[in-house]
Amino acid sequence: MEDIKFSMLLPYPAPEPVERVFRLVERIEKYPIDSIWLPDHLLMYPPGYCPDVWSLISALAVKTSLRIGTGVTCPHRRHPAVFAQMVATIDHLSQGGINVGIGAGESMNLDPFGIEWRKKPVSKMKEFIEVCRLLWSGEKVNYVGEFYRLKNAYLQIKPKREIPFYIGANGRNTREITGMMAEGWLPICESPKTYRQNIEDIKRGAKKAGRDFERIDTALQIYTAISETEEALNFVKMFPAVMILGSLKKLREAGYKVDITEIGDEFYFKDLIPGEDSEQKLLELIPKVPLDLSKDFAIMGDKEECISKIEEFAKAGVKHFVLINVGPDPKETLRIYGEEIIPYFR
């Protein structure tokens, strides 16, 4: 398992003031962490301090040698030409390189601001990626798509390196597209059971496109908490529980018997808007998610339990863990990963 990578997704809502993010990255750099990732949001759940992520990445790019990625951006808030120029510029500033995590979009970042996104969002995401890659080539681009049209368009800056796209694919169609065109897969809310099932869609997409599946970085955003006490873990279970509640249809399709009668399959995390009725509904339902179920979709427990769970996920196909450190003592959790768990796998 020496090829397993371990990265950290920085907390969002972000610590305030923003300088605390820099200190957190300095702490992460002391350990054998492969990269750092940041969510790209206008609004976050739970609500809190939410600065523009690409401005923050631009500042971090001149301070760290770690690769930096987004988990994940969307194609709806920026034109791909503007985005491609911005990312190419940040790549020049970066010592370690940039990863672009991308998804089809979610309500909280778009609906409150009147940004249209529900018309074929997956098709739009595909075109967005295509246009970015064409513009990063440095050649003049003529492109006629359903969403974007370019005529003799080109950028006067190219990335120093190839910019990889990681698709945050959580549905069958987007997983196949990931296999067909992306450098990485970056889902959230997966157990070893669902990951083993869903990775088959990535393989199928790669086969359709004549691509080598083994070259795709199969990653996973996952909550982690290290503690000896069940009481502490019962508190932090709320983080994976939110994703579980927003993915019940997917879980039931995978064979999980989730009996939460107060919620139907119509509720999805991507439809959650902070401050609205769905947020209150979510707060009422979180305590009803069994701890054992939350633990199946997270890496939680003492050190030995976490190692065992990582091994389970690795056997299911995870090559790259993007850890969301929820404590209950985040500094100690980071230390145990850096000094004990990651070296164990290397």
pTM of the entire predicted model: 0.94
- Read off the pLDDT of residues 18-62 as tens digits, 9 standing for 90 and up: 899 999 999 999 999 999 999 999 998 778 899 999 999 999 999
Q: Would you say 40 and 73 are in contact if contact means Cβ atoms under 8 Å apart? A: yes
- Read off the pLDDT of residues 212-235 as tens digits, 9 standing for 90 and up: 999 999 999 999 999 988 877 877
Q: Which CATH architecture has domain 5-228+301-345?
A: Alpha-Beta Barrel (3.20)
pLDDT at 122 over 80: yes
CA distance 5 to 35: 9
- Read off the pLDDT of residues 335-346 as tens digits, 9 standing for 90 and up: 999 999 999 998
Q: Would you say 168 and 101 are in contact if contact means Cβ atoms under 8 Å apart? A: yes
Which residue did the predictor score with more confidence, 276 or 215?
215
Return the structure tokens found at 271. 């439809």
Given this model, what pLDDT does residue 260 score?
64
Q: How far is CA 98 from CA 36, 188, 234, 267, 320, in A?
A: 10, 20, 36, 33, 16
Cα separation of the two ends of the chain = 7
Which residue did the predictor score with more confidence, 3 or 312?
312
pLDDT at 270 over 70: no
Domain boundaries, the chain: 5-228+301-345
Given this model, what pLDDT does residue 340 score?
97
Return the structure tokens found at 232. 């502490």
* Backbone conformation region of residue 301, classed left if phi is above 0, alpha if psi is from -120 to 50, else beta: left
CA distance 96 to 61: 8
3-state SS assignment for residue 166: strand
